[in-house]
Amino acid sequence: MEREKSLSMKPTRFLVFSFTIFSSTLFLSTFTIWLIKSSPSLQNQTTFLHLNTSSISLSSSLNDSDNVTLNLQPLKFQSLTRFTKNFTVNGVKIPTFIDNQLAGPHNILTGSKSEDLTHHVVVVDDDDGSAFNFTALQQENETSSSDSRVRNEQNKLVVANVDLVGKTQVSVLMKIEKNKRVKECDLTKGYWVFDQSYPLYDKGSCPFIDEGFDCEGNGRLDRNYTKWKWKPKDCDLPRFNATKMLELIRGKRLVFVGDSINRNQWESMLCMLFGAIRDPKRVYETHGRRITKEKGNYSFRFLDYQCTVEYYVSHFLVHESKARIGQKRRPTLRIDAIDRGSSRWRGADILVFNTAHWWSHYKTKAGINYYQEGSFVHPKLNVSTALRKSLMTWSSWVDKHINPRKTQVFFRSSAPSHFRGGNWNAGGHCGEAINPLNETLTSTYSEKDIIIEDIIKKMKTHVTLLNITSLSQYRIDGHPSIYGRKTQSSSIQDCSHWCLPGVPDTWNQLLYYHLQGK
């Protein structure tokens, strides 16, 4: 019996042993095949991704109005490491990356040939929502040479999140940074570069330039002053796009309030926008007024966009009045009362203020029997103190009457004058200048701008400082000089206002940038 039992056990043991051997072999074979397929290093293959440049369009709401087309070479990833799981899009397996850098010296952009597949991966930038269209390419048994270089150093690769079919989240080592974001650099620090694509308009295409700013119409022959572009040191300032600007102000009121330098900027804005209008008759002044130096209030309607671009003269933003001093009534400045025309400013969607130019005149600088508070006229008051009090009156009015949920408020800093050899009425001149300065005449921040900035910081309402002072310091060539009137005279030159087209176009370019960022 014991022998029979022993003999009966042998077939069972043999079957168990055979099944164990077969299972182990099958497991090892399956594991080996899976390992080979999932590891690119074992296959010695190169994976290509190709940027479909025809469908890439970068549009930044902060800085760039125009689409930027990128022309990049195919990307070759030679050693992609640390994969997680694979996922499938349209039947094609794509690895999910969890590393944010490429390993090895050969992980560079290259111009190697590759064959397109039919599926696409859309990469979305988390920062601004910009979408990029990537075409996955078939793997090839090619390797890149170690001395390949990136043709464009600005096209950097970082991790970007992608939401693919089935809401699968994937991190891809790609984000295009062709230009640094404008918001990350100081727009006031830079230089002027000569650009033949400027100006954005010319005298013949704009009927809104009045005689004081029409340098070409008044006989100025050189045109180089119209062809300079402001280039910040660390980024590019978006080119002004008139159609997009009109869309930004569709159905709105864009209002400039201030002195004749603000009228300079307002006329520039009209000219820049007018170039995008096909039918000139669709733009008109609501009161039928023709722009001149004498009339101070204008409202131009753009019918196709149901918007108005308006200007209201206010040299000081506070009320210019008269008071009895001795036996006579003399002009005074009510530094405690807002300008009487302020009712027209209310309800605007965009307000651009300025005051500075008239604070350097003799009366304001002397301050003798000129500044008034209530019924009291100061026998003498320092101009800086008077300016601060006036701006506090203005800021209180803004905080009380402007709804920040409806209205965006800007305050433009002072525009520099470039008189040489005397003041405007004492032989000051700038007519010999035909190019920008290599360096600014002064590196100090003007006291007026310091006061303006200090007042703005203390306001409840958010006010954006449109800082144009430093960039305008270089442009001694941009003033009308003797070309501010049709009959030239070298005895009195205008080195305060600006030719159009010219420097104020750049001020509006800055305004356009800020409006895009809202």
Tell me, yes or no, if 514 is annotated catalytic: no
SS3 212: helix
Greatest pairwise CA separation for the chain in angstroms = 148
Look at the alpha carbons of 201, 204, 209, 215 in this order and tell me if their dihedral is positive or negative.
positive
Which residue's entry shows tokens 């206002």? 497
Amino acid letter, residue 173: L
The helix-helix angle for 383-401 and 447-457 (nearest 10°) equals: 30
Buried b (16+ CB within 10 A) or exposed e, 62-81: bbbbeebeeebbbbbbbebe
Contact of 80 with 102, CB cutoff 8 Å: yes
Report the C-alpha gap between 475 and 323 in whole angstroms.
40
Q: Of the candidates 411, 269, 302, which has an alpha carbon nearest to the alpha carbon of residue 351? A: 411
> Which of 214, 477, 494, 505 does the annotation list as catalytic?
494
SS3 96: strand
Amino acid letter, residue 494: D
User: How many CB atoms neighbour CB 343 within 10 A?
Assistant: 10
Report the C-alpha gap between 248 and 99 in whole angstroms.
40
Tell me, yes or no, if 494 is annotated catalytic: yes
SS3 113: coil
> Which of 60, 260, 414, 481 does the annotation list as catalytic?
260
Report the C-alpha gap between 322 and 305 in whole angstroms.
42
| Tokens of residue 312, six digits | 């209201």
Contact of 210 with 267, CB cutoff 8 Å: yes
**φ and ψ at residue 225, rounded to 5 degrees:** -65, -15
Tell me, yes or no, if 147 is annotated catalytic: no
Q: Of the candidates 435, 454, 436, which has an alpha carbon nearest to the alpha carbon of residue 445? A: 454
Report the C-alpha gap between 69 and 59 in whole angstroms.
10
Burial of 17 (0-12, 13-18, 19+ CB in 10 A): exposed
CB under 8 Å to 364, separation ≥6 — which residues? 333, 358, 370, 383, 386
Report the C-alpha gap between 308 and 371 in whole angstroms.
35
Contact of 136 with 119, CB cutoff 8 Å: yes
Measured CA to CA in angstroms, residue 298 lies from 262, 263, 313, 345, 430 at distances of 13, 10, 9, 12, 30
Report the C-alpha gap between 174 and 133 in whole angstroms.
11
> Which of 106, 319, 357, 497 does the annotation list as catalytic?
497
CB under 8 Å to 192, separation ≥6 — which residues? 228, 229, 230, 231, 436, 471, 474, 475
SS3 340: coil
Q: Which residues belong to the active site?
A: 260, 494, 497
